[in-house]
Amino acid sequence: MADGVNRPALRVVIADDQALVRTGFGMILASDGIEVAAEAANGTEAIAAVRRTRPDVVLMDIRMPQMDGIEATRRILADGGAAGTRVIILTTYDLDHYVYAALTAGASGFLLKDVTPEQLVAAVCLVQAGDALLAPTITRRLIERFAHRDEPRAAPPRDLSELTPRELEVLRLLATGLSNAELAERLSLSPTTVKTHIGRILSKLNLRDRVQAVVLAYETGLIAPGGCA
């Protein structure tokens, strides 16, 4: 797993009610030079650990005693002192409402616990670098959820008017689950230009990452479920 590449030291908090899981994840991360700043057995401990250690990333289980991972994620990300901390939800439960709840709570990624060690390390590095771990399968769950909503979607907020036509196009495609490389190919742009467009979109809409951008696109009706740009 360790590839010999020098990267800034990453600090992670692992929150899971199973000691064996925490130990296993900790060993995987440590073997790749990632520091485990603290461990937590429930959501309450996770919040305290984040406040104490200010990690880059939290690996957060969903089902934990005292306080679940969804509520802990909400509270951590609402804490101004935790600015810069990102949360990856780790769970054995591949259920739609967990996915949606995690993403709307502000999580930057969602992984099942059967990920490989390499995938786990890559996810931590990706999220810490400011990207979001939003696989096409997760995007499809979001689409399916909004496709079955009975209430009408609200009109897109006026803030979307600040986006250029190209940025709106990028946002619509982003909401279909395309990666940066796929966006670049579809729009005949360089990956660097695509990344710049996404950065401007997030800045103009005051969004943390592409997860929030996708949620916003569907919640506001900017793109309809099943729709395609």
Confidence band for 5, pLDDT divided at 50, 70 and 90 = very low
**Matching residue, tokens 């796929």:** 182
What is the CATH number assigned to the segment(s) 11-133? 3.40.50.2300
pLDDT score at 140: 61
Quote the DSSP letter at residue 154: P
- Specify burial of residue 223 (Cβ count, 10 A radius: 0-12, 13-18, 19+): buried
Kindly give the pairing relationship between strand 35-40 and strand 109-112: unpaired
- Check if the beta carbon of residue 4 is closer than 8 Å to that of residue 30: no
Q: Which two tokens stand for residue 95?
A: 């259920």
pLDDT higher than 50, residue 135: yes
- Specify burial of residue 206 (Cβ count, 10 A radius: 0-12, 13-18, 19+): exposed
Confidence band for 225, pLDDT divided at 50, 70 and 90 = low
Kindly give the pairing relationship between strand 11-15 and strand 35-40: parallel
Quote the DSSP letter at residue 157: P
CATH 3.30.300.30 fits 152-219, yes or no: no
* Residues 8-30: tens digit of each pLDDT: 579 999 999 999 999 999 999 99
Interacting residues of 217 by C-beta distance below 8 A, sequence separation 6+: 171, 172, 174, 175, 223
- Give the global pTM: 0.69
pLDDT score at 138: 62
* Residues 80-96: tens digit of each pLDDT: 656 789 999 988 766 66
Return the domain boundaries, the chain. 11-133, 152-219
Asked if 11-133 and 152-219 have one fold, the answer is no
